[in-house]
Chains A and B, each alone.
Chain A
Amino acid sequence: MTSITPNTSPPSPPLANQPGPIAWMRKNLFSDWFNSLLTVVVVLVLGYTVVGLLTWGFTVAQWQVIPNNLGLFMSGLYPRDLYWRVWTLLGFVCALGGLSWGVLGRNVSTLFSRSVLIGIGVLCAFIVLFPLTRPASLKLLPLLALVVGMAWVGRAIAKKLPNLGVWLSAIWLISLFPLYPLIFNPIPYISLVPGSILGGVGYLFFGAGRPASPVNDWGGLLLTLLVAVSGILLCFPLGLLLALGRRSQLPAVKWLSTAYIELVRGVPLIAILFMGQVMIPLFLPDGMRPERIARAVIGLTLFSAAYLAENVRAGLQAIPRGQSEAAASLGVNMPLTMFFIVLPQALKIAIPAIVGQFISLFQDTTLLSIVGLAELLGISRSILANPTYLGRYAEVYLFIGAIYWFFCYAMSLASRKIEQKLNTTH
């Protein structure tokens, strides 16, 4: 209507974003009659389900099957008098995990923010109060304390030693060695690789006592984790190499990588696992046959690597050519360009897909129960076959379902954190 005057008023404050719960509900749940109807129906269905589940969980369900077989669920037929070894391993992992947490969080104002404290509190309450954890709860609490304490220590040290992160990665990597004497029966000396203190420790703990605890006694969650962690750690480098190979300019390398990827992706995992169990022993002489668990790990690794390679390749293709051209124009050669410029960016892009692959690898370990390895699902099925616990399907499957969910969710949470940390655009 009138002429526009220059706006000299101070910038207006951002619009208030929290109109209160009533207004929020009106806007989001009851905006018109159809939405209101939907809200009511969904609330009814949800309420019915939750109430039904809770009633069942507290009155009908007979949870006794879980604490009675906790040892089986957690570590299969692992001898009871050697449980302390498993606890030591767990303690070691917790300490290292806590330390890493502290080091990663060295620049955050406080490690124990409100949500973390709440989380720890809930976990403590769960461990103390929840009947299923009773037999082990006394040992779980110190473990938790260990994680928290080491986090604090790690943060304190990391402030003085900025390179601690590199050392920690190295320790994580070296601590893999204890796995190998466990898996590969005839080569205990691998654990005595110079400098591999932890490997030596692992050998003392596990290798030396092997007659008392053959690897094939391993089962339950312990086996699931062993197979999953080994599979994840081994398939990553292999997948990376395959992805690079498929993009290589050398025709032979490219052709071989492509053939491998397409071949493996065309075969179901269960077939590969069966082949591993049945065919590898045919090719190798008697003394060199790897343990059945090792064969399973190899099968899973070879399978996942093919999928991982495609995820990494997708990341590689998303990096604009300008990046390697810029590096080339500076005189940086191909391998260095790959290592410093292309791969870091490609892997960052591929993190969600890679972690997705890891999660499905974790879940694929359930297939080992079909080839006769008593991992978490396998041991559950043999527990259910026990006449004492006949018909306790729902309880057992809910329990192991919760365990699978816990680990998979932890992985996806970790991937989100890593993505946030690597985000450099803000």
Chain B
Amino acid sequence: MTQFQTETDARPATGAEPVIVAKDVEKWYDNGFHVLKGVDLTVNRGEVVVVMGPSGSGKSTFIRTFNALEPYQKGSVEIDGILISHDLKDIEKVRKEVGMVFQQFNLFPHLTVLQNVTLAPIWVRRWPKRKANEVAMQLLERVGIAEQAKKFPGQLSGGQQQRVAIARSLAMQPKAMLFDEPTSALDPEMVREVLDVMRELAGEGMTMVCVTHEVGFAREVADRVVLMADGILVEEGTPDAFFNNPQEERSQKFLSQIL
């Protein structure tokens, strides 16, 4: 299951096992705004997909449909074979298997770092407390903040908080991880420590979908980069192809603005 990707564009298209399959997803906000206008995306096991695009293009909304934080009105999203519908049971099943890291970290400020990480394993996975603590400490070790386990989130820096948030998601042993602009709320000098953790995670074969503006990260880690604009998927390709030789005019315009 664990696989290391060194060549980003070396992924074989055949024999790939899809984890996330989104088909023709459409969504309207309550105020009638048509935010997703039929988006397709398939993410295979172990694949890292980076979603880019101008703000307001619906990319966050799109990946938030993958764990039903945003309901959608048309099309279908399947996670590991489970269709996300109105069925609450299915939704909870999916959420157990899909971790998410938020722009604003969203740690629980009244719980210690360790409690943040163990809450879901104890109460959702029903692990005994000792096992949950052990796993949590291993994860905190991995993201480099084991010695802060007894502190509260408010006592940590932004970068540390985001790493705790990653550890918290990983504690549920998810099959896929969603990153919603994980470095956008960070001070510049803390972006790196978070990206390093994500890079390592990708290296270990985690299936990841990242909404991010970090071009360096996308070039280095992504198997595929997709560009969303105005609720549609404009272009999709390997990082090489996307950054060096964008086909669509919209992509060229976007890249000229951020590069």
Contact = CB atoms under 8 A, between A and B. Distances in A.
B131 to A, nearest CB: 17
A332 B106 contact: no
Interface string B77-118: 000000000000000110110111010101111100000000
B169 A336 contact: no
Interface of A: 320, 322-323, 325-333, 336, 340-341, 344-345, 348, 422, 424-426
16 contacts: A323-B108, A326-B108, A327-B108, A328-B67, A329-B67, A330-B124, A330-B168, A331-B92, A331-B93, A331-B120, A332-B119, A336-B123, A348-B110, A424-B109, A425-B154, A426-B152
Which DSSP category, helix, strand, loop or mixed, fits chain A's interface? helix
Nearest to B107: A326
Contact of B95 (A329, A344, A345, A426): A329
Interface string B34-71: 00000000000000000000000000000000011100
Given A328-B69, A330-B124, A331-B95, A426 B154 contact: yes
Contacts of A340: 108, 119, 123
B137 interface: no
Contacts, number: 77
Interface of B: 67-69, 92-93, 95-96, 98-100, 102, 104, 106-110, 119-120, 123-124, 152-155, 165, 168-169, 172
A322 B110 contact: no
B95 A425 contact: no
A325 B172 contact: no
B169 A329 contact: yes
Contacts of A348: 110
Nearest to B100: A329
Contact of B102 (A326, A333, A341): A326
B69 A329 contact: yes
Given A320-B104, A326-B165, A328-B68, 16 more contacts: A320-B106, A322-B102, A322-B106, A323-B108, A325-B69, A326-B100, A326-B107, A329-B95, A329-B100, A330-B96, A330-B124, A331-B96, A331-B124, A332-B119, A345-B108, A424-B109
A359 B120 CA distance: 38
A323 B106 CA distance: 6
B154 A330 contact: no
A329 B104 CA distance: 14
What are the 7 closest A-B residue pairs judged by CB atoms, nearest first? A326-B106, A425-B154, A331-B96, A330-B120, A424-B152, A329-B100, A322-B106
B231 to A, nearest CB: 21
Nearest to B88: A333
Contacts of A336: 123-124
Contacts of B95: 328-331
Contacts of A344: 110
Contacts of A323: 106, 108
